[in-house]
Amino acid sequence: MVKLHFAGKMLASVMALSLFVALPLHAQSASAESSKLNLTDLDYSAVSEATGLKHHAWPANTDAGRNARRSEISNIHDGATARAAISESATRYPGDLSFQGGPVVEDAEFHPIYLYNTKNKCTSPACWGTPATFIGNLGVSEIIHVTDQYVHSTANDRYTLGGSFSHTIANPSVTKPLTDTDMAAYAHAAALSKGESGYHHVFHIFLPPGQDVCFTATDNQCYSPDNSSTFVFCAYHSSADFKDVGHVLYTVEPYQNVGGCQVESGTPNGELVDSTASVLSHETIETITDPDGTAWWNSTSNAMYGDEIADECEFITTTSFDVPVFTVGSKSYGIQRQYDNKRHACTEAP
Residue 301, domain member (yes or no)? yes
Identify which of 218, 183, 222 has the alpha carbon closest to the alpha carbon of residue 203. Answer: 183
Residue 314, domain member (yes or no)? yes
Identify which of 41, 53, 38, 292 has the alpha carbon closest to the alpha carbon of residue 190. Answer: 38
* Distance, CA of 177 to CA of 196 (rounded, Å): 28
Domain count, the chain: 1
Please report which confidence band the pLDDT of residue 303 belongs to, taking 50, 70 and 90 as the band edges: confident
- At 77-110, the pLDDT tens digits run 865 444 444 455 556 799 999 999 999 999 999 9
Residue 151, domain member (yes or no)? yes
Q: How many residues does the chain have?
A: 350
Beta-strand runs (E) in 21-157? 34-36, 51-59, 98-99, 108-116
Sheet holding 213-214, edge to edge: 178-179, 213-214, 222-223
pLDDT for res 170: 81
pLDDT for res 79: 52
- At 195-217, the pLDDT tens digits run 999 999 999 999 999 999 999 99
**Helix (H) or strand (E) segment spanning residue 206:** strand 201-206
Residue 206, domain member (yes or no)? yes
pTM, whole model, 2 decimals? 0.88
Residue 1, domain member (yes or no)? no
Q: Find the domain containing 199 and state its range.
A: 6-347
Q: What's the start-to-end Cα distance of the chain, in Å?
A: 21
Residue 156, domain member (yes or no)? yes
Question: What mean pLDDT do residues 238-264 have?
Answer: 97
Residue 78, domain member (yes or no)? yes
